[in-house]
Amino acid sequence: MKKRSERFWQGVVIAAAVLSPLFLVAAAQNKAPSLPQGNAKAGKAIFDQNCSLCHFPNQTTTKIGPGLKGLFKNKTLPVSHKPTTVANVLHQVLNGNPSAKPMPMPAFKSKFSKKDLANLIAYLKTL
Ligand code: HEC
C-alpha cells in the first residue's frame, strides 16, 4: 500500500506533465512574430495609403471598418473583441477578413515587408 504523500506527489507530477505543454502552446500563440524596431512616421504613410480608405485614425466611428483611435490603448479589438496584442493586430493585417461586413478587409500578407509591418504597428500604437 502506497503512502498518501507519495500518491499526492505522483498526482502533482502527472498534473504538471499534462499541463505544461498547454502552457507552452498558450505562450507560443501569444508571442508576436519578431519585428525590427518600427518608425511611426513611416508607418503613418503606410496607413494613409493602405488603411485610411476604410479606417479613421482619429475617431472610433466606423468608416467601412472600425475607427482605430486608441487601438492599442484598449484591452480588446473593436470588432472581434480578441485581446489587443501585436500578434492579433498583425494577424488581422496579414490575413484580412474575407467575410467582414459591409466589405471584406483585404489581406496584406504579400504586400508588406517586415519593416513595413513594424512601422505600421509603431504608428498604430500612437493612435
Ligand atoms: C477595404 C476596407 C479595408 C481596408 C483597406 C482595411 N481594413 Fe481593416 N477592417 C475592415 C473591416 C470591414 C473591418 C471589420 C470587420 C472584421 O474584421 O470583421 C476591419 C477591421 C480591422 C481591425 C479590427 C480587427 C478586430 O479584430 O476587431 C483592425 C485592427 C484593422 N482592420 C486594421 C487595418 C489596417 C492596419 C489596415 C491597413 C493595413 C486595414 N485595416 C485596411 C476594412 C478594411
Kindly state if the Cβ of 53 falls inside 6 Å of ligand 1.
yes
pLDDT, one tens digit per residue, over 99-125 is 998 999 999 999 999 999 999 999 999
pLDDT at 95: 97
Q: Judge if the beta carbon of residue 87 lies within 6 A of ligand 1.
A: no
Residue minimizing CA distance to atom 43 of ligand 1: 105
Q: State how far the Cα of 87 lies from the Cα of 121, in Å rounded to an integer.
A: 10
Positive/negative CA dihedral, 23, 26, 27, 28: positive
> Which is more confidently placed, 112 or 8?
112
Has this prediction a pTM greater than 0.85?
no
Report CA(10)–ligand 1 centroid distance (Å).
49
Question: How does pLDDT run across 26-67, given as a tens digit for each residue?
Answer: 544 545 567 899 999 999 999 999 999 999 999 999 999 999
Q: Which ligand 1 atom is nearest residue 77's CA?
A: 27
Q: Between 2.40.30.10, 3.40.50.1010, 2.60.40.420, 1.10.357.10, what CATH number should domain 40-124 receive?
A: 2.60.40.420
Whether residue 82 has its Cβ less than 6 Å from ligand 1: yes
Q: What does the pLDDT average to over 73-99?
A: 97
Q: Are 43 and 50 in contact (CB under 8 A)?
A: no
C-alpha distances out from residue 70 to 19, 59, 75, 105, 109, Å: 36, 8, 10, 20, 24
Domain ranges of the chain: 1-31, 40-124
